[in-house]
Amino acid sequence: MAETITKALEKRDNGPGALISRYSADFQMVLPEHIKPATFVRLAQGLLRRDPNLAKVAQRNPGSLLAALLECARLGHEPGTESFYLVPFGDEIQGIEGYRGIIERMYRAGAVASVKAELVYEKDYYRFNPTSMQVPEFEPNDFADDRGELIGAFAYAEMKDGSISKVVRINRRYIEKVKAESKGSNSPHHPWNKWYEQMVMKTVLRRLEPFVPTSTEYRREELRVAAEQAAQQEQKEKMRSSTQLPETPIYDVTGFPEADAVDAEVVDDQSTPAGEQAALDGVGGGR
């Protein structure tokens, strides 16, 4: 009985949940300030408890679980939300950022006032001429029983300074190309087959990313600058230690007495005759 309990404890301590706890310091290194490492760990562990299939795959391939969670942390999302999904595919776990996660990162960067992204169906009104129009004219046929097939999507961002980003557009052919290149898209459980519209929205927002600041770019730049500054400081310390010379002794001269000043007259080098000297002495004595 005691042996069975010991084995159960060992299995629990080596399970995916315990592994997540052991790597909390690694998550902390890449997480932005708005997510606490302890919260991130608890959410990831709770996700494993709620999804037995995810837990089984994580047990078989813990490395894929950690890789997905690190990517989630780097992007500044909470795992298992509409911003970032953990999806089991065969014997590995893939981390998939949702389209809401991309929009969230754009807003988090601080330069974007609003993001506009729309799916376009056959019966919608859509018109855009890049040479004469700043943004597309679009009216979705929301009240129709059938808007027709999805034929494309567009997205752009309005910046806080009043400017408009590039308007990106994708058509049906491009959408199908992206889907075909996605790993495992032939599986009925793949996101492209379960959440087709959401994946199209994500695809067009991915196209918008190069033209709009995102929080990951800001974060990456902050980390790069911090690393450069640390490297420069380390180099300075090395140079200082390698070129340091022995200290030169400094002598204190304030304790030495100054030389006494001597008053003197300038006299002729020629000797005075004895007679003249006597006469001078006599004159001096008569005064």
- How confident is the model at residue 207, as a pLDDT? 96
- Residue at a domain's end among 41, 63, 97: 97
How many other CB atoms are found less than 10 A from the CB of residue 81? 15
Same domain, 87 and 138: no
Q: What is the pLDDT along the chain (287 residues), one digit of tens a residue?
A: 444 543 443 445 578 999 999 999 999 999 988 899 999 999 999 999 999 999 999 999 999 999 999 999 999 999 999 999 999 988 999 999 999 999 999 999 889 999 999 999 999 999 999 999 999 999 999 887 889 999 999 999 999 999 999 999 999 999 999 999 988 888 888 889 989 999 999 999 999 999 998 876 555 555 566 667 777 887 877 777 766 555 554 444 444 444 444 444 444 444 445 555 544 444 444 44
Same domain, 57 and 20: yes
Same domain, 23 and 55: yes
The residues facing 216 across adjacent strands are none
In a domain, 246, yes or no: no
- Residue at a domain's end among 73, 97, 121: 97
In a domain, 83, yes or no: yes
In a domain, 228, yes or no: no
Q: Please, is 154 exposed, middle or buried when counting C-beta atoms within 10 Å of its C-beta (0-12, 13-18, 19+)?
A: buried
- How confident is the model at residue 44, as a pLDDT? 96
Closest CA to 219 of 108, 115, 111: 108
In a domain, 25, yes or no: yes
What is the Cα–Cα distance from 268 to 276, expressed in whole angstroms?
A: 15
pTM: 0.69
- How confident is the model at residue 218, as a pLDDT? 54
Same domain, 12 and 79: yes
Same domain, 162 and 65: no
Domain coverage including residue 57 = 2-97
Q: Report how far Cα 48 is from the mean position of its chain's Cα atoms.
A: 27
In a domain, 91, yes or no: yes
- How confident is the model at residue 225, as a pLDDT? 65
Same domain, 122 and 206: yes
Q: Are 123 and 148 in contact (CB under 8 A)?
A: yes
Same domain, 167 and 88: no
In a domain, 267, yes or no: no
Q: Give the number of domains in the chain.
A: 2
